[in-house]
Structure 1
Amino acid sequence: MQKITKELPGFIVSLGIAVVSYYIAKLWLPMLGGATVALFIGIILGNTWLQQPGLAMGTKFSEKKLLEYSVMLLGATITFQSIAQIGWRGVLFTVLQMSCTIGFAIWLGRRLQFNEGTYLLMAGGNAVCGSSAIGAIAPIIDADNEDTGIAITMVNLMGTILMLLLPVLGTLIWGHNNELRGVLIGGTVQSVGQVVASATMINQGTVVTATLFKILRIICLVFVVTGFGYWHQKQQSQVSDSKLGEQLLAKKSSLVPWYVIGFLLFCILNSLQLFPSQFGALCHFLSTWCETTALAAIGLRLNLKTLFSQGKRLLTYAGGLVTIQVIMALILITILF
């Protein structure tokens, strides 16, 4: 009870920012979405009026646990049948696009001397599904709050840029071809909300295609989290400290975290149509609010001085990664479709 009492103030503030952000997005900024608005409001307030230590435990709970619940609930909103609608070319495009994004993010992150936590979170967030992927990956690679906050902020910023840019770019290149424009948006833009908002700027046909490709990327979350967990443990196992080695050995059993297992289970059950008709809609609603509240908490915990201290290096990383993502998507679409 004492722990709950300490966590409550930070959680209430995070939830309050999420509610305000929802209405701001609905009334004035529908293109951005409530989650992105909540992140930026949280950053502003957390670096000005809401720096109280008494909020720390609640914002930490909201950041960590709510993102995990959001990932698990996301599984009930998708089905494996979506892969059949995409076809082998769509699957091949998605695997190659995600692999190139992850590989380049790791390579460039190392070249720019970012730590493992930052470049793995940037890789997963850009390749899979933005904040949800980062929230799923962070615990398994032992990323600290600073790395998580920076990665989520940059991935949301890049996603917003691509959300606005790709409808224009796709139309300039392919004219009114809804399929190709949908593949470009669904295979590249970071979060689910940004994908839908971006495709909506074109038409409903593009929304359908973009959403299918985004769903396939989300399904791949299980493989990305497992792979990154194995990568992290392999890197750490090279440390000679025997005590650390024993700790890592003890963690082997948790290579796939509970919320990723829950995500996969929900996805399987939904694919088998074992859930009531309204269950998926309820999980989508809860997942969205968990993510929005978690992003508000992450914004409150992010120190702008730390973000700005990365300066030119961080912008170079983000800009280079976005550029390669778009270029690879254009090349793969030209070859495969």
Structure 2
Amino acid sequence: MKLKHILFWAGLLLCLTPVLTSPTALVLGFFISSLGLIPEGLAITKMTKKLLSYSIIGLGFGIPLQQALSVTSHGIGIVIFTIIGTLVIGSMVAKVIGLNSKTGHLIASGTAICGGSAIAAVAPAIEADDDQIGLALGTVFVLNSVALFVFPMIGHLVGLNQQTFGTWAAIAIHDTSSVVGAASAYGTEALKTATTLKLARALWIIPVAFFSAFLFRSESKKISIPYFILFYCLAIAITDLLPQWQVFYHGIFMVSKQLLVVCLYLIGCGISIGRLKQSGPKPFIFGVSLWITISCSSLAWLLTHPL
């Protein structure tokens, strides 16, 4: 076996262990690709799309339906406003700066709902390519890292209580893992509020994925139905109707999270330096601008409408 094959598969196997996180897997894949270590004839894009779908279905087993619906009902107004507002503003800004529409929509979807998971769910629905997915994920991961440190500092600076900070973190921080990290640093009550509300927002992957499929339908006017979202819904329903199998569901959820890490590695392997140069700084500028807009507007609303 060639050395490039060994290194590629070794990197993939490493993604199946707790050693690598999602961001590091993406970077590792990009590094492998940059060194020209991708085996010839390997259908990475096809592999990635299938694994993404399977991962999203499995993640559905980690969504507590009743708890998520309860939290959504209490904060339905701000949830709907921020999700729709982020997608609309994102679409407008992407057009103004000349950013690729699919890349812009992926970043906006990740900002609106739950970061990498939302991007992974929306990507196959709009038939995004690896470069578009990679740019969106890279932007979101960088902002997640910043949020872990910046949000608690701002929260203490403006004197947010535990519940208000938890709500703000769930709205304005992309990935659930980063929401949990920032909220846990702020306090126990903030962590409970942020985690529950973030899981509730994850339910919005379903309508957003279907809307995205309709929005980016082909010229033939045929809509590519994201069937995996239907199985995602089924997984959520099963956990609610048959709660006695929670240990089994948790196992599927954890395996799916690890498969998502593998997906990010494969996405990184499919990104080329040439295309990154062609895209320029626009995706990152777009992501930062959208994030600051949503973070500041939601914070302003929470300060004037204390919980």
Q: How many residues align?
A: 302
Structure 2 partner of 1:43 = 30
Task: Give the superposition deviation at 1:264.
Answer: 0.6
- Paired letter, 2:272: N
Match of 1:197 among 164, 172, 181: 181
Task: Give the superposition deviation at 1:55.
Answer: 6.9
Structure 1 partner of 2:303 = 334
Distance of 1:220 and 1:87 partners within structure 2: 10
Structure 2 partner of 1:23 = 19
Say whether 1:227 aligns with 2:211. yes
Say whether 1:207 aligns with 2:191. yes
Task: Give the superposition deviation at 1:330.
Answer: 0.6
Relative distance call for 1:232 and 1:87 in structure 2 (3 A) is closer
Structure 2 partner of 1:323 = 292
Say whether 1:54 aligns with 2:40. yes
Distance of 1:215 and 1:120 partners within structure 2: 21
Distance of 2:10 and 2:94 partners within structure 1: 34
Aligned residue runs from structure 1 range 237-256, under 5 A: 237=219, 245=220, 248-249=221-222, 252=223, 254-255=224-225
Match of 2:145 among 135, 160, 175: 160
Task: Give the superposition deviation at 1:51.
Answer: 3.3
- Kept in 2, the 8 Å contact 1:69–1:259? The answer is yes
- Paired letter, 2:23: T
Task: Give the superposition deviation at 1:326.
Answer: 0.6
RMSD (Å), alpha carbons: 2.3
Aligned residue runs from structure 1 range 139-150, under 5 A: 139-150=124-135
* Uncovered stretches (5+) of structure 1, i.e. residues with no partner: 1-7, 25-33, 238-244
Structure 2 partner of 1:121 = 106
Distance of 1:325 and 1:147 partners within structure 2: 22
- Kept in 2, the 8 Å contact 1:10–1:54? The answer is no
Structure 2 partner of 1:3 = none
- Paired letter, 2:26: L
Distance of 2:104 and 2:7 partners within structure 1: 28
Distance of 1:83 and 1:332 partners within structure 2: 22
Q: Which moved more, 1:216-225 or 1:298-307?
A: 298-307
Aligned residue runs from structure 1 range 73-152, under 5 A: 73-83=58-68, 85-86=70-71, 88-152=73-137
Say whether 1:12 aligns with 2:9. yes
Post-superposition CA distance 1:145-184 (Å, at most 9, x none): 2211211111222222223221211221224x11111111
Distance of 2:242 and 2:301 partners within structure 1: 33
Distance of 1:128 and 1:11 partners within structure 2: 32
Relative distance call for 1:60 and 1:271 in structure 2 (3 A) is same
Task: Give the superposition deviation at 1:310.
Answer: 2.8
Distance of 1:55 and 1:193 partners within structure 2: 35
Distance of 1:53 and 1:66 partners within structure 2: 19
Structure 2 partner of 1:4 = none
Structure 2 partner of 1:291 = 260
Structure 2 partner of 1:241 = none
- Kept in 1, the 8 Å contact 2:25–2:261? The answer is yes
Relative distance call for 1:262 and 1:10 in structure 2 (3 A) is farther
Distance of 1:282 and 1:170 partners within structure 2: 35
Distance of 2:266 and 2:75 partners within structure 1: 36
* TM-score for the superposition, normalised by structure 2: 0.89
Post-superposition CA distance 1:185-238 (Å, at most 9, x none): 1112111222222222223322211111111111010010011111122xx44x
Post-superposition CA distance 1:25-69 (Å, at most 9, x none): xxxxxxxxx112211222223212x43342742x33442222211
Post-superposition CA distance 1:116-149 (Å, at most 9, x none): 2111111112111222212221222122222112
Q: Which moved more, 1:222-231 or 1:278-287?
A: 278-287
Distance of 1:122 and 1:210 partners within structure 2: 21
